[in-house]
Chains A and B, each alone.
Chain A
Amino acid sequence: MKRRTWWILAAVILLTVLPLWLARAPAGGFGGADDAARQAVGTIAPGYRPWFAPLVEPASAEIASLLFALQAAAGAGVIGFWLGLSVARERARRAADPTREYDADR
């Protein structure tokens, strides 16, 4: 892989990990922004009552994380399949025609 790819990956990891130290830890720390918004609605309009409840709630936080993991796995699986297929396809092309130059050589 190109060096720049590694730098970009490192930047993404830093951007994800640094807030864990930089953020002034609020009570309960690192809850969801969606939940923070729900509380904000509570302070702006204390009389508001949600008029509809979710049809199905995940049985617990563990079950919710299972479903989120499933969603991520489905996405990552398809991307991994495409990357693997692409690399193999390029390798096969190169084996069939070693004289031609490919973008990947840059």
Chain B
Amino acid sequence: MHIMEGFLPPVHALGWTAVSVPFLAWGLRSMGRGLRAHPERRMLLGVAAAFAFLLSALKLPSVTGSCSHPTGVGLGALLFGPVAMVPVGFVVLLFQALLLAHGGITTLGANVFSMAIVGPCVSYGVFRAVAALGLTRSAAVFLAACVGDLATYVTTSAQLAWAFPAASGGFAASFLKFAGIFALTQVPIAISEGLLTVLVVNAMARFNAHELRALPVMAVRAREPA
């Protein structure tokens, strides 16, 4: 989902940066406040950040014949709320932009918006919705991580389509083209991310039941089958 360095016109690059900066500030504030109030959550936050680092470094092959990577930010969004994942996603994307020439500084705002803002927010929303429907926790976690991952790539497609509307067909034609590249490739990878997130949440439920119980997100816990 990385929009390459220089591949957004200056106005778009600036616009997405302006949109993302307040979220980053909000995320840092909320993260700092959360950790001061609950220092015992530091370990789990570290695990959530590590999960995002690990997954976004794995470029997996997909059915379209190209490679893409999961984002790993859904897990943290479910545990600590969506804004807490903005700084984490930002650090991952900054690392890749500065050291790997993967993504870029000019496109950082747009990439943060798709991976660290839209993805976690969609994951969080899906989790709440599925949990409210009364499905099992595993089903809610799986769908949340999977759909959030896909949402990131749909967002990237829309961002590129907005910047580069097709000569005939405009935004819609362009969007379909980019979605064909990003979203389609992402389908099996998003399923993998959903499954891996379930594994980590299961391990947390087993080993960190005490810390999990105190987390507001898991308080809306869906029932787990006996």
Q: Do A and B come from one complex?
A: yes
**What are 20 A-B interface contacts by the 8 Å CB criterion?**
A16-B188, A19-B65, A23-B63, A30-B65, A34-B103, A36-B66, A44-B165, A44-B167, A44-B177, A55-B98, A71-B53, A71-B54, A71-B57, A72-B54, A77-B50, A78-B46, A78-B50, A83-B207, A103-B206, A104-B207
Q: How many angstroms from the CA of A19 to the CA of B97 in the assembled complex?
A: 28
For chain B, give the interface size range: 35 or more
Report chain A residues within 8 Å CB of B106: 51-52
Report chain A residues within 8 Å CB of B195: 8, 11-12, 15
Q: How many angstroms from the CA of A34 to the CA of B60 in the assembled complex?
A: 13
Q: Is the interface of A mostly helix, strand, loop or mixed?
A: helix
Q: Is the beta-carbon distance between A54 and B5 smaller than 8 angstroms?
A: yes
Q: Is the beta-carbon distance between B177 and A34 smaller than 8 angstroms?
A: no
For chain A, give the interface size range: 35 or more
Report chain A residues within 8 Å CB of B97: 54
CB of B178 within 8 Å of the partner chain: yes
Q: Is the interface of B mostly helix, strand, loop or mixed?
A: helix
Contact of A76 among B6, B54, B198 (CB under 8 A): B54
Q: How many angstroms from the CA of A50 to the CA of B104 in the assembled complex?
A: 11
Q: How many angstroms from the CA of A44 to the CA of B162 in the assembled complex?
A: 12
Report chain B residues within 8 Å CB of A51: 6, 9-10, 106
Report chain A residues within 8 Å CB of B186: 33
CB of B62 within 8 Å of the partner chain: yes
Q: Is the beta-carbon distance between A74 and B203 smaller than 8 angstroms?
A: no
Report chain B residues within 8 Å CB of A87: 207
Q: Is the beta-carbon distance between B196 and A30 smaller than 8 angstroms?
A: no
List the A residue with the shortest CB-CB distance to B184.
Answer: A33
CB of A45 within 8 Å of the partner chain: yes
Q: How many angstroms from the CA of A40 to the CA of B96 in the assembled complex?
A: 22
CB of B215 within 8 Å of the partner chain: no
Q: Is the beta-carbon distance between A82 and B46 smaller than 8 angstroms?
A: yes
Q: Is the beta-carbon distance between B104 and A86 smaller than 8 angstroms?
A: no
Q: Is the beta-carbon distance between A31 and B50 smaller than 8 angstroms?
A: no
Assuming the contacts A8-B199, A45-B164, asked whether A56 and B67 have C-beta atoms less than 8 A apart, the reply is: no
Q: Which A-B residue pairs are the 6 nearest by beta carbons?
A: A75-B54, A50-B6, A75-B53, A78-B50, A86-B207, A54-B101
Q: How many angstroms from the CA of A56 to the CA of B66 in the assembled complex?
A: 25
Assuming the contacts A26-B65, A71-B53, A74-B53, asked whether A64 and B100 have C-beta atoms less than 8 A apart, the reply is: yes
Assuming the contacts A44-B174, A82-B43, asked whether A33 and B54 have C-beta atoms less than 8 A apart, the reply is: no
Q: How many angstroms from the CA of A16 to the CA of B61 in the assembled complex?
A: 6
Q: Is the beta-carbon distance between B192 and A34 smaller than 8 angstroms?
A: no
CB of A41 within 8 Å of the partner chain: yes
List the B residue with the shortest CB-CB distance to A70.
Answer: B57
Assuming the contacts A20-B61, A41-B7, A67-B99, asked whether A89 and B105 have C-beta atoms less than 8 A apart, the reply is: no
Assuming the contacts A8-B199, A52-B104, A75-B52, asked whether A40 and B65 have C-beta atoms less than 8 A apart, the reply is: no
Within 8 A of B (CB), among A84-105: 86-87, 89-90, 103-104
Assuming the contacts A15-B188, A53-B5, A86-B207, asked whether A26 and B174 have C-beta atoms less than 8 A apart, the reply is: no
Instruction: Please give the distance in Å from B102's CB to the nearest CB on chain A.
Output: 7
